[in-house]
Amino acid sequence: VEKIAQVLAETMGKIKKVILRVSLNYGETLEAKGTSGFNYFNPNLTDKNFTKVVGKGQGDGEAVLVNFGEYVASDEEAVARLGKMGLRPGIPKELADLSKSHPNSSELAACFPVAALGDSWQDPRGDRSVACLDGDASRRDLGRHYSGDWYVRWWFLAFRK
């Protein structure tokens, strides 16, 4: 038990980052992105529900996956921390493109679950959610996670400002 406590104490609060190249296609709809490469794609992930635009056309980018190594109490806190690192939060289209750029990648799967905090949707019940990527090296699910309460296991998709 002491050994486990020591390991946890040494890793808590340490920020981890993984940088991955990604082929971005801002012209393709979220609906089209969901037609292949995912075992599950939440039907509410649509361009109608997630409307934020951060780029045009196609190109390559550098995704930064960030894990804060500790509990983060809100989306706003996570976004503020990313901002202090010179990063902006990713959006659902970028999260889908990241997964498609790295199919069967154990390096990406080691960072699951990943949330894209750059855009959110409020469902008819009034609950706010963001896109999240989960699964493993052979299975990919692009779904929704209700905002807030980001436990230590969560990673956040970001890009340099």
Give residues with Cβ within 8 angstroms of 72, minimum separation 6: 78, 81, 150, 154
Whole-angstrom distance, CA of residue 22 vs CA of residue 100: 8
**Which residues have C-beta within 8 Å of that of residue 134, sequence separation ≥ 6?**
112, 113, 114, 140, 141, 143
pLDDT, position 147 = 82
Q: What is the pLDDT along the chain (161 residues), one digit of tens a residue?
A: 566 555 444 556 699 999 999 999 999 999 999 999 999 999 999 999 999 999 999 999 999 999 999 999 999 999 999 999 999 999 999 999 999 999 999 999 999 999 999 999 999 999 999 999 999 888 999 999 998 889 999 999 999 99
pLDDT at residue 137, rounded to an integer: 85
Output the six-digit token pair for 59. 């190109």
How much is the pTM? 0.91
Compute the Cα dihedral for 17, 51, 53, 39 and give only its sign: positive
The pLDDT assigned to 67 comes to 97
Q: What confidence score (pLDDT) does residue 1 get?
A: 56
pLDDT at 148: 80
